[in-house]
Amino acid sequence: MLPLAAKLFVQLTKIPSPSGKEVLLRNFLLIYFRKYSITCRTDRVGNLIAKLPGRGRPLILNSHLDTVNPCVGIKTQIKNGIIRSKGDTILGADDKAGVASILALITKLIEEKLQHRPLELIFSVQEEVGCLGTKRLEYKLIRGRQAVVIDRSASVNSITLSASFINRVEIICRGRAAHIVRSNEGINAITILASFINQINKKITKGSISSIGLINGGSVFNVVPEKAMAVGEIRALKRMNLKKELKRWQSLANQIAKKQGGKIILKSELLIQGYSIKKDNAFVKTVSKSIMRAGFSTVYSAALGASDANVFNQHGIVAIPIGQGRTGAHSLKEAIPIQAFIDTEKILINLVTNIQ
Ligand SMILES: [Zn+2]
């Protein structure tokens, strides 16, 4: 028989919740909480916040409601203790496994009348599209200064101590239009962009990663194009390395424009703030102790991806993502072992009943 968290998870996979359309899943949770008389409210952007009174310092538990696509019509299959989709959709363990684990946890706390810390459950929306839900969360509604974010493709005993700064960069190249028969009078914006992309990938600042993901240019095939643009991203665990890489992009842009004529304009925007928490932080120690009491040794890691933890940390909340044992997030091969739900429950029970 499946443990409650896994059972709930399979149930949640049947409720589609793409980013921005989390309403059905949120309604399921509202009904669940009502059954246990838990106070909850939906904020102005659709985040669901539920509170359970308890003893000691309040603790935030967070998972996000949205999933990436394709997420409609998910059919699960269980083989050798591992839950997967049938292969034509994602599974949605990112992050419905987190949601299910929190629901199973509070069910156990209530049914077994266990003493626990005051809990603030935050189920955020639109995490997958730039943590928009937590960016616009009404922080005045939240008392806790410590959070565990259950949303990470890593083993259940892992704690993510740092995560990336993420910077979006728009590269706009301007040349001079000319008909193909007078092409020597024109400056080809696509050629300028091509040189830039070619150079950018040759050498990347240590401690950062960059990539161009979108490209667009020209208007007609027989005219030297006046405009071309691309959009890329730079990620780095340290702000300093992000700045260095951006500086390198700018100086390359200047060099290429000088050599080939035309212009390269870079428009840069910091999408996500990075964070870094020390291993000897009191809350890190508390979470680590909960992992060890569940029979594991703690693994500390850094993430080049971002999560709602980035945004919480920016708002002065010490937020620690923990692993869920899931693999293949954002792909049709996404999978999660049933054992991961059992282990996560042990860790979470240890954490919330450790009154401080
Ligand atoms: Zn996620």
Q: Are residues 64 and 97 in the same domain?
A: yes
The model's confidence at residue 356, banded by pLDDT at 50, 70 and 90, is confident
| Percentage of the chain modeled with pLDDT above 90 | 95
d(CA 178, CA 224): 5
How far apart are the CA of 181 and the centre of ligand 1, in A? 52
> Which CATH number fits the domain that encloses residue 345?
3.40.630.10
The model's confidence at residue 308, banded by pLDDT at 50, 70 and 90, is very high
Alpha-helical segments (H) within 160-305: 189-200, 239-260, 282-293
Coil vs helix vs strand at 192: helix
How far apart are the CA of 90 and the centre of ligand 1, in A? 13
Share in percent of the chain as helix, strand, coil (round to 5): 35, 30, 35
Residues 6+ apart with CB under 8 A from 135: 311
Average pLDDT over residues 12-26: 98
Residue 296 Cα to chain centre, angstroms: 25
d(CA 354, CA 356): 6
Residue 303 Cα distances to 14, 98, 159, 276, 300, angstroms: 29, 18, 10, 10, 10
Tokens coding 319: 């937020």
Average pLDDT over residues 125-134: 96
Give the pLDDT confidence score for residue 204 in this predicted structure: 80
Q: Are residues 149 and 62 in the same domain?
A: yes
Average pLDDT over residues 194-203: 90
Q: List the domain range (segments joined by +) for residue 188.
A: 171-272
Give the pLDDT confidence score for residue 131 in this predicted structure: 96
Interaxial angle between packed helices 189-200 and 239-260, expressed in degrees from 0 to 180 and rounded to the nearest 10: 140
pLDDT > 90? residue 116: yes
Residue 82 Cα to chain centre, angstroms: 23
Residues 6+ apart with CB under 8 A from 260: 187, 191, 192, 195
Q: Quote the mean pLDDT of the chain.
A: 96
Q: Are residues 289 and 333 in the same domain?
A: yes
How far apart are the CA of 97 and the centre of ligand 1, in A? 10
How far apart are the CA of 224 and the centre of ligand 1, in A? 43
8 A C-beta contact, residue 189 and residue 131: no
Q: Are residues 120 and 238 in the same domain?
A: no
Give the pLDDT confidence score for residue 201 in this predicted structure: 81
Average pLDDT over residues 91-98: 97
Q: Are residues 119 and 130 in the same domain?
A: yes
Choosing from 243, 272, 301, the residue where a domain stops is 272
Number of domains in the chain: 2
Q: Are residues 88 and 24 in the same domain?
A: yes
Residues 6+ apart with CB under 8 A from 128: 19, 64, 66, 67, 68
Residue 150 Cα to chain centre, angstroms: 11
pLDDT > 90? residue 205: no
Choosing from 222, 254, 272, the residue where a domain stops is 272
Choosing from 233, 250, 272, the residue where a domain stops is 272
Q: Are residues 103 and 10 in the same domain?
A: yes
How far apart are the CA of 308 and the centre of ligand 1, in A? 8
> Which CATH number fits the domain that encloses residue 184?
3.30.70.360
pLDDT > 90? residue 203: no
The model's confidence at residue 137, banded by pLDDT at 50, 70 and 90, is very high
Q: Are residues 123 and 156 in the same domain?
A: yes
Residue 189 Cα distances to 195, 215, 222, 224, 268, angstroms: 10, 12, 14, 8, 20
Q: Are residues 149 and 292 in the same domain?
A: yes
The model's confidence at residue 259, banded by pLDDT at 50, 70 and 90, is very high
How far apart are the CA of 205 and the centre of ligand 1, in A? 27
d(CA 345, CA 119): 15
Q: Are residues 187 and 268 in the same domain?
A: yes
Q: Are residues 157 and 56 in the same domain?
A: yes
How far apart are the CA of 22 and the centre of ligand 1, in A? 14
Q: Are residues 120 and 183 in the same domain?
A: no
Average pLDDT over residues 228-232: 97
Which DSSP string corresponds to 304-336?
SS--HHHHHHHTT-EEEEE--S-B-TTSTT-EE
Tokens coding 215: 């490209």
